[in-house]
Structure 1
């Protein structure tokens, strides 16, 4: 379906993949377990080869640690390289996940002629760092370290899953001069669930200043990952999957939520968005909003009627794989772009009203303004009034 949207001054294309007919659904149900067993076997094969180099049928695999800007912290990285790659696809996994669950994806891409780079983000999988704890600036720096290992003549695509999409999108928004061949986001996690109201967000901000390293339960529901019970079981049994997060990590996710959609007009890379409508982890409506607001002149949104959060581990995988490889090939044929990046920005560059110095200044101002006017009140009443005004000030900063 194509339509002209005068408010954006460009032609938009929205693809809504209709659900398969009943016979297709029956066939998919019969073959999905077999397909997953094949993917699981491949992932297990890679997992048993921790470091080193070996050859597959159509590509070479190299597994090593890549150093970062943090001294002593290295990223566990896998390179799947065909002999003459047409481009490089860097896959960024989501929260609590790790690269070991994407080997079957890398295998398909490499057989199609793409070099694929998988890496565990800091604090996850086999990479270094405090478990489930990272700052967005550090995650941007880590992504740059991975990009710097790629041959300069290679066009580069980013494929970002779930929270990895927030990392990739914010990285591109903060670096508008960055040249990539394209960005693919799959079920992007761009906003907290509605249950996280303003009170919880305020409490999170305060706790981040006091105890950022405190670990809390992330309440991951494995049943939301996939319709395939084998996938759900494997996630539950995977010792590298993280089921908790630090307060500091949760706060950085909140910062990403407040940053991406309000600033995504600055995103100029070719963009492909894929999302399942049955995703209970990340709403597909956020992808619709991302598509509407993104500044890209070349952007495509594809929705899957019965898709869950992990399209790469479900019945939709074959369609997703074909859509992505076809889109990447089309981008290369249309306008091959040699990637360019230097002096990259790290972290979120937009100015936020909730800066620590401004909040502290307002608290001091509130205290001295009201101290004399509340002399007739008891100490407890004065304390409660001033505390309430301080909290109100903090809420205003977080909200706006």
Structure 2
């Protein structure tokens, strides 16, 4: 699709591959920073489709096959608008054929923050929100060391695209298993986004403050799964978002020993974490019937 700025935004969908699979609903997915809807992220999309969901996702601007400077985000709002534009079309097309089936939002890391902002703008459109290691606050272990953090606003103004180690390596801090770390880096579209530019880092911090301020406005069913050893996004900030959310149906699961990228963790944690997510989606979809 073309967004409001006439940028080409790559989109794709997955469906259950067996005609006998009972269709449960739609899941709209948003990937994290420096990721894309293909490569490793699509393993989750395929797994959710096999459960019986129609799944759709897009590459955020500056990521994957979409247009835009690689990993450079000065304002999150256009990205939120792109997600709403695509998901509205996907949801309407799906509900023309399946008007009684629910639609859910799913987001990882930065995609989790964007999913929260989408849900806040479309309070009546989604039947549930699943957040996997969401960026509700940047971990102190990932932030640039003092005094670089104090100089970040000035750096963002003077040299907004500067990537000189304002933060730790995102990939090194995200994937526990080394072979998965290297697999992620082998994506032909990975680019050089392990260290976000100064302007992007500043916008990430601003997004976290907005989410903290507006979390009471969340009213839809909510599941948050977070690694306790996540050194990119702070699980305690996610806990506060869940506590403050106005949702009557809300669950937080903090997984001991797990890092930031659930799919990059050990087999036991991968199976446990995604088992929680898959069970939640199936149970909430069945409750809607």
Residue 160 (structure 1) aligned with residue 107 (structure 2): yes
Q: Tell me the residue number matched to 1:260.
A: 211
Asked if residue 292 in structure 1 is aligned to residue 243 in structure 2, the reply is: yes
Q: Give the Cα–Cα distance (whole angstroms) in 2 for the partners of residues 169 and 291 of structure 1.
A: 11
Instruction: Give runs of aligned pairs for residues 159-308 of structure 1, distance below 5 A.
Output: 159-173=106-120, 175=121, 177-194=123-140, 195-196=143-144, 200=148, 203-217=151-165, 218-241=167-190, 242-308=193-259
- Evaluate the alpha carbon distance shift between residue 178 and residue 133 of structure 1 in structure 2; reply closer, same or farther with a 3 A threshold: farther
RMSD between superposed Cα atoms in Å: 2.3
- TM-score, normalized by length of structure 1? 0.62
* Structure 2 alignment gaps of length 5 or more: 96-100
What is the aligned partner in structure 1 of residue 47 from structure 2? 108
Q: How has the CA–CA distance of structure 1 residues 104 and 204 changed in structure 2, closer, same or farther, with 3 Å as cutoff?
A: same
Structure 2 residue 142 is matched with structure 1 residue 142? no
- Change in Cα spacing, 1:270 to 1:162, as seen in structure 2 (3 Å) is same
Change (3 A) 1:205 1:312: same
Q: Classify the secondary structure of the residue corresponding to 1:68.
A: coil
Gaps of 5+ in 1: 1-65, 337-400
Cα separation, 1, equivalents of 2:234 and 2:156: 26
Indicate whether 1:95 and 2:33 are aligned: yes
Q: TM-score, normalised by structure 2?
A: 0.84
Q: Distance in 2 between matches of 1:113 and 1:181?
A: 16
User: What is residue 5 of structure 2 aligned with on the other side?
Assistant: 70
Q: Distance in 2 between matches of 1:311 and 1:90?
A: 18
Moved more, 275-284 or 83-92: 83-92
1: CA distance between counterparts of 2:205 and 2:198?
11
Distance in 1 between the 2:47 and 2:123 partners?
Answer: 31
Distance 1:297 1:186 in 2: 20
Select the structure that is richer in strand.
Answer: 1
Q: CA deviation at 1:256?
A: 0.5
Give 1:224 shift: 2.9
Matching of residue 120 in structure 1 with residue 120 in structure 2: no
Rounded to whole Å, the distance in 2 between the matches of 1:116 and 1:165 is 16
Please list the CA deviations of residues 168-199 of structure 1 after superposition, one character each: whole Å capped at 9, or x if unmatched.
112323x2634201111111122233355896
Name the count of aligned residue pairs: 269
